[in-house]
Structure 1
Amino acid sequence: QLQWGAASGEDQVIVDNTKLVLNDLDLAVSYRDLRATPQNQQATADQINLAGLFGAQETVKLEFPAAGTATASVNSGIAGFGNNTDQPYRLTITHYLYDPNEARDLSGTDAATRLKALRLIYDRMMFAEAGAFRPDQTLTRIEMARALMFGARVMQFIPNQPSFTDIAAATPDVLVAESLRREGLMGTKGATFGPTVSVSRLEEAVALVRAARLTAQADALKNTDVKVGGQTIIDNAKIPADLRGYVQLAIDRGLMEAFPASVQQTPTGFIALPGPRFEPERTVKRAEFVNPMTRLLNLVFGE
């Protein structure tokens, strides 16, 4: 049973089964009695958990739960049939205080970006650790992977044998990396995922387009030139020919933008920057990822 006091925030309940799993989990949280029946369910989770040797996981999120005693009910069966399984389960309960003031380092961003960043924090797609969103720090591959995992409806998956040598076993990052690999979004080549490696704009474009399930359309545009308003971008040659379709669709679908010609002021004067350009090799800052990730949510969920 779970004990909650009324609070301005949300609570998250995670259940893991800890042994071999060849079946599906479902999790329900209810008030009023000990049975999580459809009539008294407060929240449920029943995503398909694919087979694997390292268990499965379900998560529910309760936004601003009422004070009182609640019950978490776990069932395990094949494709949601709900047959009880006699094995240990691990239940994790986390409380998140929703206080925009806790992300204290967003004041330097524009109002629209700040609002979108708070939404991503609230939906657990990006984090403000110890009250710091770190908008000017570079985005890492595992940070982008977490956001895509929860923002693009990626099915959970843990294989019988680990795919990556650079991610610690039995961590949430394993579930994220393995699930994205199976879905074909990230980490599809080699035995390393590079969780702490900074993300480039080219990598961001490829991952966003794949997360939007536009891979076939992007591959159909390989070996073409990336154009904006009918004009080929000036750094087209810096983009591998087989990935140009991803950049093209990222621009066309509004997930990312090309940069127009502009004049940039420097400490010693002014520099003319030609355009349009994409700057595929430039690393992405965390604040710069907010708008593309929000646009992906709009594209996937229509929000």
Structure 2
Amino acid sequence: MTMRIAAVQFHIDHKNKESNWDRVEEYMAKASDFKVDLIVFPEYFIGGPGKRSVIKGGTERCQALARKYNMDLVPGTIIEMDREDGNLYNCSYYIDKSGKILLEYRKFHLWHPERSYLSHGQKGFNTAVNRFGLIIGMCVCWDIAFPEVFRYLTQEKKAQLVITPAYWSMEDCGELGLKHDLQSEVKLLNNLCMTRAFESEICMVFCNGAAESAVSRPQPFGNLAGRTQITVPFKGPIAHCDHAKEEMIVAEVNVKQLTDDAEKVYQIRKDWREGRVFGGAKKEEVETIIP
């Protein structure tokens, strides 16, 4: 069974949050015309980052949009304040078409500037089964730099599709990186997405923000790098924004077929389970962790 997935490389207007909500709804209406099953938006899709970006009632509003347009929704991330500890977290949700939250994730690997006002998520990396019977995992932006995240999601949580909203800029490599190559972050993003899909035998939706649009304004943390893509084993990117402009991409993905075939060929998950990976646990140790 295939799943039609849309990812919106969305330009975020940090000065006018309500206009972002309006344009999110416009894209969902457009995606509905394409009979999209799941739509994904970037990190900080309504505005941010920063303490002033806490959104009250944002999750409920997203649930209502999922119901209205009858499609699953990963609305990028929303900064929320925890009622118990008072800390701010960068939160992402997988919401099904009925408005039910199937999966919640709080960003663990914070980018360096975020650490001054956000707290590391402590709820771990989890998965959920969606209406297509697929095991969904989520991570956010800088999380993809760490293969351990994907190893955990695939080995212990059995993920088949990993969704990654991001807010990644061209200047993230700093002056030192730009001195070597102005396209450093583009190369990093494209290679990370390809590598994670192949080495983890998963399908991946990476959704970054856009740097340019009709309402373009200066962006916090620099010029966004774009390169939103849907990347799968064997094929690589099957839909790809090879630029930083605003665009919605759509792809028909047979997630189960691709991930099953990848494991039959490469048997990476099997080798991990059997303790055949250098530096990994021995077989008897693995069996106590992964039944």
Q: Structure 2 length as normaliser, TM-score?
A: 0.24
Larger Rg: 1
Q: Which has the higher helix share?
A: 2
Asked which structure has the greater RCO (Cα within 8 Å, sep 6+), the reply is 2
Q: Structure 1 length as normaliser, TM-score?
A: 0.23
